[in-house]
Every structure is written in structure tokens, then in C-alpha cells.
Chain A
Amino acid sequence: ILNVEQSPQSLHVQEGDSTNFTCSFPSSNFYALHWYRWETAKSPEALFVMTLNGDEKKKGRISATLNTKEGYSYLYIKGSQPEDSATYLCARRGFQKLVFGTGTRLLVSP
């Protein structure tokens, strides 16, 4: 069973705040971790695919790190903006599929 857990469940920050959330997963037989950004009524959008322990990826103000030995990944958003409001999903690669966490819902107030 590839239980993927994310915390916190939701987060409310002010514009300009930096924030981070956590994705935890079983560390055995690890292949890859995917991060998605999902706005309601739109397609979940792929942010990062991470495969190696110690990986760090960046896309604009959003970055992610990966620790496969202890089974966690962090997603960071620097200087949050209202348009960053979305649900952030992580998913671990299972057998020919992705297994998702429940997501962290981020709300950024102006």
C-alpha cells in the first residue's frame, strides 16, 4: 500500500508570506514523486517530477525538495500571491499509476 499523506490539510496566508507544505510517503521501493497544482474546475497541472534523493526543483517562486530515505518532500512558495491559491497535490509512482495524497488547500488573501 502506497499511502501518501499531505499536511497541513489547508492553509490560509497573507499575500507576500512564504509558505511550505509536506508530502510523506513510504520510502521503500521508491521510483518518483510528482507535484501538481489544481484549481477547482480546471485540470490538475504538473509542477515537478522528482526522482533522486536530494533533488531540488524550482519553477518561478515555487520549489520542492525530496528526501527518499526518510520518505518526504517539501513544497515551498516564496512571496505567496492570490493567484497561488489552489490545492497542491503530491503523488508517488506505484505500479504503472500515480497514487495521490489528499492535497493541501492553499488560500492567499490580498
Chain B
Amino acid sequence: SQQGEEDPQALSIQEGENATMNCSYKTSINNLQWYRQNSGRGLVHLILIRSNEREKHSGRLRVTLDTSKKSSSLLITASRAADTASYFCATDGASGSRLTFGEGTQLTVNP
């Protein structure tokens, strides 16, 4: 079964607004990663947060991790039309170097 599940499945906002996407997972993790995928392309790594971290920032991205709730959120501030993409969370676990991806959130930022 899927380790990570994103919520919502689709999100449509206006340029300048903030976008928040959530990810829930089922088993213990070492770290959680977020990726972005433009339509028809490969995934690009955005940010990694370790299990002993609660919050991490990178530019307009803010990621939080709550291991007690087995959940993470990705916040994109001041969104731009170019942020339109699918966003995936990915978790590792006791299995080692492999990741398990969620089904993704499709974000549309309208100009």
C-alpha cells in the first residue's frame, strides 16, 4: 500500500496566494522528501526533512513534519503561475535507500 498520501488531490489558487499541501504516511520514517513534477516531465527534488526536524525552509518553500501524527505539509508562499505542477511527498523507512511516493497534489496557479 502507498506509504505517502497527499491531500488535496488538486488545488487551484490565484497568483500571490499561498498553497498548502499535506502528506500523511503510515510507518516510521528516517526522512521525508518533497518533489515537483511539471507536466510530462521527470520529478525534481525540492526539500528533505529529517525525522528529528520539525520545520525547514528553502526560499518560498516551508515544510513541516509532525512524526506523532505521521504527517507533513508543504507551504508555497506568494505563488506564481510557474509553480503550476504536481507535488509529491516521498518517505523512506527501514527499507533503506528506496523511497515510497504518494499520489501527488496537482497545483494550478492562475495568473
The answer to whether A and B come from one shared complex is no
